[in-house]
Structure 1
Amino acid sequence: MGKRRKRNLMKKLHKWPSLLIAVFIILWAASGVVLNHRHLVSSLDLDRTYLPSEHRYDNWNNAALRGSICIDSNLSWFFGNTGVWEFDIRDTSWKDLRKGFPAGADHHKVNCLLKTEEGEYFCGTRFGLYKFVPGDQAWKGLCIPHDDRHVVDLAQSRDSLWIMTRSHLWKMPLKGIPEFEYAPILPPLGYDNKVGLFKTLWVIHSGEIYGVAGKLLVDFVALVFVFLTISGLIYFFFPRMMRRRKRHAKPTNRLAAWNKFSIKWHNKIGIWLVLILTMTIFTGMFLRPPLLIVIATDRVGKIPYSVLDDGYPWYDLLRRILIDEKHNNVYLATSEGIFRMEQSLKTRPEFVFPQPPASVMGYNVFDYHPNGNILVGSFS
């Protein structure tokens, strides 16, 4: 095959697939910027009627309800992505218990709900910890003194509340002043200072690997994708529009100028940033099935001087917690398996054998069975 034919083939392979996915590229780039700064738009809502049917709530699907606790013989509280709801079995009625949460559906996604032995109620969301005030029938926010406020689970041990976020563990007395005490978790036995390949690709793709500066760089890359897509569409459609206008003796100067500008900077920016553009595409491909399955269990060394290389072994790994009062142990369900350690936190967590099967989505159930065993559930 001659050079000219190869060049024409490469142009076609670049042009036609790009045209087919142009709209998706713009949507992916725009949504990526939004997700990189989720807290800035968390108070904004979009009616689900504008979304495809599989993303609408119907009969409490799509994790609208994730779990429940029993209040008394007649009342139960349910929690999930739609907040907290009270169900009365006597008249099968539902009562909205979302008062006190900030505006925005994102703030109403409740990950965990706990009723203490003293009859107090706490819940954890992506943005913090809340306590229910019966007199106001509303939730009151309790500020965790750390940037990581994504509460994933709660547990009670005697007169203390254990609060688990995605990366850290805290304790708070249930009596007296509610002050947070940091509960450091030691590195697990056999810790190899490695991290999951999926997590590595995730922080590279989002830019989180180098903090705010990295996120802003990836935001810029997203805008570059939008520009390349729009300029490519201009280069494809404008020459056809110009020929049509010429046949009708209409001016084409403005279209020609836009077309010249678009192809010039489309080529230049595409060449200058080809490496970072390719890296963004490549890392994104492995963040969702089917390629996610290929790397789900792989572990790699931490990238030096990155957010992963801080010497802390539990970054974004924690998911669920159970307190074993009988044996004075704590069980940690993480994205890398289940660990056991003493409540004193003075011993290094050890990997529990045998490990129950778990999907890449993690554990959906992690609780005590009435017979005293631990009940674990996942999509596997």
Structure 2
Amino acid sequence: MGKALFALSRRLHRYAGLLLLLYLIFVGVTGILLNHPTMISALSVPRWLVPPSYQIEEWNRGSLRSVVFSEREPSVGFVAGTEGIWKTTDGGVTFEPMASGYPRSRALRRTNHIVLLEEEEEAPARLLAATRGGLFVASVDDAEWRRIPLAPGDEHVRKILRIGERLVVFTNSNAYEAYGEAGGDLPHFTLVDPDRLHGGEGGTTEGVSLVRLMFALHSGAVWGMPGRLLIDAAGVALIFLSASAIYLWYFPRSRRRSAGAPRKDGIGRRLFPWLFKYHLKIGVWATLFLILFAGTALFMPPSPLVPMTVRKVVPPQYWPGPLPANPWHGNIGNATYDPVRDEILVELRGGTGRSVWRAPADFSTPFARDAARLPIGAMGSNVLEIKADGTLVVGSFSGLYQRSAGGGALIDLSTGEPADPRPFRRGEGGWQTAGYFETPSGERFVVTHDEGLIGIGGAQPNGRFKMPDELKQGYRMPLWSFLFEVHNGRILRDWLSSHYYLISFLGALSLLLITFTGLFDWAYRKLPARPGKGRPEKRKEDPAK
């Protein structure tokens, strides 16, 4: 029975491993690179290597997220998104890039929000840009960008709020404020005392989502940089195990084919025992990490098991690594200013999803959770604005919605009907909202992730807001984003349609099978056998068989 089970286990290990050799090598290489985004942030993939569904058309895929027009000259406007910032001087008919001094990296130039400062008539207008690579400012006259320092380290800037003569900038972890006229030199931003923001509440104090834990364990980030490096080492082990398996399978067959030839003590014969020995040793040492890789991948997007973890929360005391002292660290998604109530709203990622918090605009008291429920999807809001009359506009991959001042009904702008405010529910119109803007004449447009620019309430582009050919033809996908789509198999959805999710799911299950059968094979060879009542013997086999 034991021998038969060993034979079955060895066959499963061998043929499942051979079937997934290239996949596992690819997963190991891409996983290591994904674990160090700053190392590859300057690299990108040319358009011809990017599948059609990932290429940009009509401002889709976040290439347009924020638009502002000049109050002095309404025909002058600026468009911002994943491809940087573009300027129009004819109301949106033509566009020119504003790239001088802007981040060259395709990843760092991604722009979340822009604000145009035009306080003094005689002073040149200036444009502020919130990017993944920091906060930037440029004079509209010379269009030369300069970086505004916020903190010693780089922070992902989410939103810029203009409150009277004060500017408030929210990054993914902190808030900064500056005072002064727009015509001065670089605004000097100071960090808002974190206690004035959260008072020790929100974010990680409410617990951390189970999905986030899966990502943190999968990358090792739960233990900081040492954890990432340890996972990198396990990734190298996975690559070695997969590459060595190729030779361990090929060499015995090559030897059998040349059985009649004279035996030579060549490099191949000397290499085989060494590879076999360390294939076993490294495989055993890496077992726990291989199980960690596969087990967490089963509960990460796009796996069909993700719904089992979406609403689950890990209490802070059970988080397996250190949590930041700032509970808002990495949890700020968006923000806006309410001029009617003189308050700031912040969208925060917490244990049970996305929530909105309110506080006085001067931060005189910490933020408190807003009782109102907004339909913000799991990936957060891309639009969060409150107009001068108090009208709220919120958009995410769950749709685009509007609520009048005073807490009126929430309206789905894709249908014009009252909306279900529950999160993670897409509106009937299916608008996966990436951006939203209004023209000086009051026309409204939504920009969706897939379709691009769509008019609201009968608004039509009428020859305006056409994406420049230069932007479309010169598109390059950030390498990190490309590798992420490769790593989880989503890159093949153009060919596999909705079945693409099976790649990572079945790959994870197969890696578990290979790992457990390999462990069993090692234990069978290593542990003593008792064929009878005699003295225990260790099993000896020719590993080349």
TM-score normalized by the length of structure 1: 0.89
Question: Aligned residue for 1:104?
Answer: 105
1:375 counterpart SS class: strand
Amino acid at match of 1:368: I
1:314 counterpart SS class: coil
Of structures 1 and 2, the larger Rg is shown by: 2
Question: Aligned residue for 2:241?
Answer: 228
Amino acid at match of 1:15: R
**Are positions 1:328 and 2:342 aligned together?**
yes
Question: Aligned residue for 2:513?
Answer: none
> Which of 131, 135, 140 pairs up with 2:146?
140
For 1:156 and 1:350, the matched residues in 2 are separated by: 21
Question: Aligned residue for 1:12?
Answer: 11
Amino acid at match of 1:263: F
Question: Aligned residue for 2:224?
Answer: 211
Indicate how the Cα distance of structure 1 residues 279 and 91 shifts in structure 2: closer, same or farther if over 3 A, else same. Answer: closer
Amino acid at match of 2:309: I
Question: Aligned residue for 1:266?
Answer: 279
**In 1, are the aligned partners of 2:339 and 2:390 still within 8 Å (CA)?**
no
For 2:251 and 2:76, the matched residues in 1 are separated by: 65
Indicate how the Cα distance of structure 1 residues 214 and 4 shifts in structure 2: closer, same or farther if over 3 A, else same. Answer: same
Question: Aligned residue for 2:56?
Answer: 57
Alignment of 1:216-365 (within 5 A): 216-246=229-259, 253-289=266-302, 290-302=304-316, 308-335=322-349, 336-365=354-383
Unmatched runs of 5 consecutive residues or more in structure 1: none
For 2:256 and 2:315, the matched residues in 1 are separated by: 56
**In 2, are the aligned partners of 1:70 and 1:77 still within 8 Å (CA)?**
yes
**Are positions 1:164 and 2:173 aligned together?**
no
CA shift, 1:252, in A, is: 7.5
**In 1, are the aligned partners of 2:231 and 2:289 still within 8 Å (CA)?**
no
**In 2, are the aligned partners of 1:101 and 1:107 still within 8 Å (CA)?**
no
1:105 counterpart SS class: coil
1:367 counterpart SS class: strand
Question: Aligned residue for 2:136?
Answer: 130
**Are positions 1:44 and 2:43 aligned together?**
yes
Amino acid at match of 1:128: G
Instruction: Give CA-to-partner distance per residue, 1:112-153, whole Å, 9 cap, x none.
Output: 212235342111111211001334312111122142511122
Higher relative contact order (CA closer than 8 Å, sequence separation 6+): 2
Amino acid at match of 1:101: Y
CA shift, 1:271, in A, is: 1.0
Amino acid at match of 2:377: S
**Are positions 1:195 and 2:208 aligned together?**
yes
**Are positions 1:178 and 2:187 aligned together?**
yes
**In 1, are the aligned partners of 2:66 and 2:81 still within 8 Å (CA)?**
yes
CA shift, 1:95, in A, is: 0.3
2:100 counterpart SS class: coil
CA shift, 1:366, in A, is: 1.1
CA shift, 1:351, in A, is: 2.1
Unmatched runs of 5 consecutive residues or more in structure 2: 120-124, 399-545
Q: Which moved more, 1:315-324 or 1:47-56?
A: 47-56
For 2:63 and 2:54, the matched residues in 1 are separated by: 11
**Are positions 1:375 and 2:393 aligned together?**
yes
Indicate how the Cα distance of structure 1 residues 34 and 191 shifts in structure 2: closer, same or farther if over 3 A, else same. Answer: closer
Indicate how the Cα distance of structure 1 residues 106 and 192 shifts in structure 2: closer, same or farther if over 3 A, else same. Answer: closer
Q: Which moved more, 1:158-167 or 1:296-305?
A: 296-305
Amino acid at match of 2:372: P
For 2:254 and 2:386, the matched residues in 1 are separated by: 68
TM-score normalized by the length of structure 2: 0.64
Question: Aligned residue for 2:384?
Answer: 366
Indicate how the Cα distance of structure 1 residues 80 and 232 shifts in structure 2: closer, same or farther if over 3 A, else same. Answer: same
For 1:25 and 1:374, the matched residues in 2 are separated by: 47
Question: Aligned residue for 2:87?
Answer: 86
For 1:207 and 1:310, the matched residues in 2 are separated by: 16
Indicate how the Cα distance of structure 1 residues 160 and 371 shifts in structure 2: closer, same or farther if over 3 A, else same. Answer: closer
CA shift, 1:242, in A, is: 3.2
For 1:369 and 1:11, the matched residues in 2 are separated by: 67
Indicate how the Cα distance of structure 1 residues 120 and 134 shifts in structure 2: closer, same or farther if over 3 A, else same. Answer: closer
Percent of aligned pairs with the same amino acid:
24
Count of matched residue pairs: 379
1:108 counterpart SS class: coil
CA shift, 1:98, in A, is: 1.7
For 1:288 and 1:247, the matched residues in 2 are separated by: 53
CA shift, 1:223, in A, is: 1.0
**In 1, are the aligned partners of 2:32 and 2:232 still within 8 Å (CA)?**
yes
1:347 counterpart SS class: coil
Instruction: Give CA-to-partner distance per residue, 1:24-67, whole Å, 9 cap, x none.
Output: 32222222222222222222232121222222233433222223
For 2:306 and 2:169, the matched residues in 1 are separated by: 30
**In 2, are the aligned partners of 1:367 and 1:374 still within 8 Å (CA)?**
yes
Question: Aligned residue for 2:156?
Answer: 150
2:108 counterpart SS class: helix
**In 2, are the aligned partners of 1:235 and 1:262 still within 8 Å (CA)?**
yes
